[in-house]
Amino acid sequence: MAFENKFVQLRIEKAETLRDAGINPYCNNSKRNTTIKKYLNVNSDIEHKENKRDEHRHYTVAGRIKLLRVMGKASFLQLEDESGVLQIYVARDHLPENFYNDIFKKNVEVGDIIEVGGYPFVTGQGELSLHASEFKLLTKSIAPLPEKFHGITDKETRYRKRYLDLIMNADVRKTFQIRSKVISLTRRFFEDKGFLEVETPMMHPIAGGANAKPFVTHHNALGIDRFLRIAPELYLKRLIVGGFEAVFEINRNFRNEGMDATHNPEFTSIEFYWAYKTYKDLIEITKEYFLYLFDHLDLPTHLPYGDLEIDFNKFSEVPLIESLHTIGEVPSEIVNDKEKILEFLKSKNISVKNGLSLGQLQGELFDEFVEHKLINPTFITEYPVEISPLARRSDVNPDITERFELFIAGREIANAFSELNDPVDQYERFKSQVESKECGDDEAHAMDEDFIEALSYGMAPTAGQGIGIDRLVMLLTNEHSIRDVLLFPAMKPIHHEELNQEEV
């Protein structure tokens, strides 16, 4: 039951006591006239003043009480708002008669949201504080906060009750401020380049644009199932057909797959499409984008990530086949021979599905021996055509595509290619995907005839790219779980025992 906890009961009683004394414990006419950060800035000169105070200044701040130290007729409390922390000095004789003893000491406690007016002064210990002459309770907190020193560390509680995590852990707030900036800077970067931000459907009749299992939902009015999108790609390309020459979308994708440190069922990406460009141009704009982010986030281009050091001045470019040998140390004589690759994988005790093509096997080799070694930003280029169903073939080698993926700290951050705009080739690729699907690959593409028809009208030569925003934020904030860069990561619902008993 709600409110049954004895600490909660006690605090509800305090709220009632306040009401009886004519004080609204949920009062909303706040007169706050400055933030704590501004208060600290504007009063930084106080320590040079006579008596280290200025009784002619008056400010009203508001926030949550994080610490409370009562010493008889005076108290110190630490007040926190979004901008910072301020020490408040509350003395009995500077407040209305009896307020300090009867109201403040008995009914105000850590967690409450209050408003305090007074003048700036510096304490004997040298801390710029506020000397209170007005005190108003704005919101009574009836649930006790976690312990003041250790805060809240239990990961499950932190993710399920993110509000508590945010109250207790300032660095968590910082992470999400950075996330917000990354998204806003990304938007600004592409807008400044002349890209148009668009919104395409989240509910698709066919889940396309990536290899992944979709979530299914049902549209009652039409009596049909819809798929939550796994990627916006095919819709964004329809817009290029329609004549937009540079578009981008920042939004959620949904994939019905496992959850772990780098996967959440819903995740955020930016996809952008740029007509009359190739994947080579995308490599350049990607480098520019990263420098732009580092510059505007005020981050050094040499970043620690766990035990790793990432140098964002060192972008390199390696064709996939070449990387197998030079980085993955796979013998170069086997990488173009299906049988030899299978033999090699077997000798390394790595099992793969039956019936994989050469390109797919090369992909396996890459995942197994190369990916985790790519620490500094590396563009892996020239992907086999079999694992790139939407990418344009290379003019010099029809087995490979004009594609790259960007890897940083051993993880894929971006995927990009010159887009396949030959409708007949695209039709054939879909057909071979459908065959894979029929052979049991439930992540293979479905046929999208409407998309083929769109391509048939002619899509200008275009290059397109997707960047995983969550993983990017992880890199920039030195976080190692995607849950730490998502405000509300996916969690299993908790079974309530009472419900079970009712059912039985």
Partner RNA sequence: GUCUUGUUAGCUCAGCUGGUAGAGCACGUCACUUUUAAUGAUGUGGCCGAUGGUUCGAAUCCAUCACAGGACACCA
Residues 391-420 that bind RNA (CB under 7 A): 411-412, 415
Q: How far is the CB of 189 from RNA (least distance, A)?
A: 21
Q: How far is the CB of 318 from RNA (least distance, A)?
A: 17
* Residue nearer to RNA on the CB measure, 78 or 381: 78
Rounded-to-integer distance, Cα 271 and Cα 469, Å: 10
The answer to whether residue 109 forms part of the interface with RNA (CB under 7 A) is: yes
Q: How far is the CB of 110 from RNA (least distance, A)?
A: 5
Q: Which of residues 119-138 bind RNA (CB under 7 A)?
A: 121, 123-127, 129, 131
Rounded-to-integer distance, Cα 87 and Cα 63, Å: 11
The answer to whether residue 25 forms part of the interface with RNA (CB under 7 A) is: no
Q: How far is the CB of 289 from RNA (least distance, A)?
A: 17
Rounded-to-integer distance, Cα 389 and Cα 494, Å: 40
Q: How far is the CB of 128 from RNA (least distance, A)?
A: 9
Q: How far is the CB of 312 from RNA (least distance, A)?
A: 19
* Residue nearer to RNA on the CB measure, 241 or 408: 408
Rounded-to-integer distance, Cα 26 and Cα 141, Å: 9
Quick one: which segment of 206-214, 218-226, 289-297, 339-347 binds RNA (CB under 7 A)?
Answer: 206-214
Q: Which of residues 301-320 bind RNA (CB under 7 A)?
A: none
* Residue nearer to RNA on the CB measure, 261 or 424: 261
Q: Which of residues 355-374 bind RNA (CB under 7 A)?
A: 367
* Residue nearer to RNA on the CB measure, 95 or 285: 95
Which residue among 23, 110, 178, 183 contacts RNA (CB under 7 A)?
A: 110
**Cα 226 versus chain centre, distance:** 26
* Residue nearer to RNA on the CB measure, 181 or 263: 263
Rounded-to-integer distance, Cα 46 and Cα 60, Å: 17
Rounded-to-integer distance, Cα 463 and Cα 282, Å: 7
- For the stretch 479-484, contacts whose Cβ atoms lie closer than 8 Å and that sit 24 or more positions apart, written own/partner, are 479/175, 480/261, 480/306, 481/261, 482/261, 482/262, 482/263, 482/264, 482/267, 483/155, 483/159, 483/261, 483/264, 484/172, 484/175
Q: For residue 274, give Cα distances in angstroms to 16, 147, 241, 347, 482.
A: 62, 52, 11, 44, 29
Binding mask 445-484 for RNA (x = CB under 7 A): -----------------------x-xx--------xxxx-
Beta-bridge partners for 465: 272, 416
* Contact criterion met (CB below 8 Å) for 405 and 380: yes
Nearest CA to 413 out of 287, 247, 245, 226 is that of 287
First-to-final CA distance of the chain: 20
Binding mask 322-341 for RNA (x = CB under 7 A): --------------------
Quick one: which segment of 1-9, 182-190, 197-205, 219-227 binds RNA (CB under 7 A)?
Answer: 1-9
* Contact criterion met (CB below 8 Å) for 282 and 263: no
Q: How far is the CB of 461 from RNA (least distance, A)?
A: 24
Q: Which of residues 148-177 bind RNA (CB under 7 A)?
A: 148-157, 159
Beta-bridge partners for 251: 269
* Residue nearer to RNA on the CB measure, 151 or 319: 151
Q: How far is the CB of 489 from RNA (least distance, A)?
A: 7
Task: Using the structure block, give the residue that is written with the tokens 């990561």.
Answer: 489
Q: How far is the CB of 255 from RNA (least distance, A)?
A: 4
β-pairing, 128-139 vs 59-71, is unpaired
* Residue nearer to RNA on the CB measure, 71 or 222: 71
**Cα 368 versus chain centre, distance:** 27
Nearest CA to 370 out of 405, 417, 414, 415 is that of 405
Q: Which of residues 240-259 bind RNA (CB under 7 A)?
A: 255, 257-258
Binding mask 65-104 for RNA (x = CB under 7 A): --xxxxxxxx-x-x--------x-x-xxx-----------
* Residue nearer to RNA on the CB measure, 124 or 223: 124
* Residue nearer to RNA on the CB measure, 35 or 78: 78
Q: Which of residues 33-72 bind RNA (CB under 7 A)?
A: 67-72
Quick one: which segment of 18-26, 175-183, 210-218, 456-464 binds RNA (CB under 7 A)?
Answer: 210-218
Which residue among 10, 216, 424, 439 contacts RNA (CB under 7 A)?
A: 10
> How many residues make contact with RNA (CB under 7 A)?
76
Backbone angles phi, psi at 455, to 5 degrees: -60, -30
- Beta-carbon contacts of 69 under 8 Å, excluding residues fewer than 6 positions away, are 75, 76, 77
Q: Which of residues 258-277 bind RNA (CB under 7 A)?
A: 258, 260-265, 267
Residue 239 burial (10 A CB sphere; 0-12, 13-18, 19+):
buried
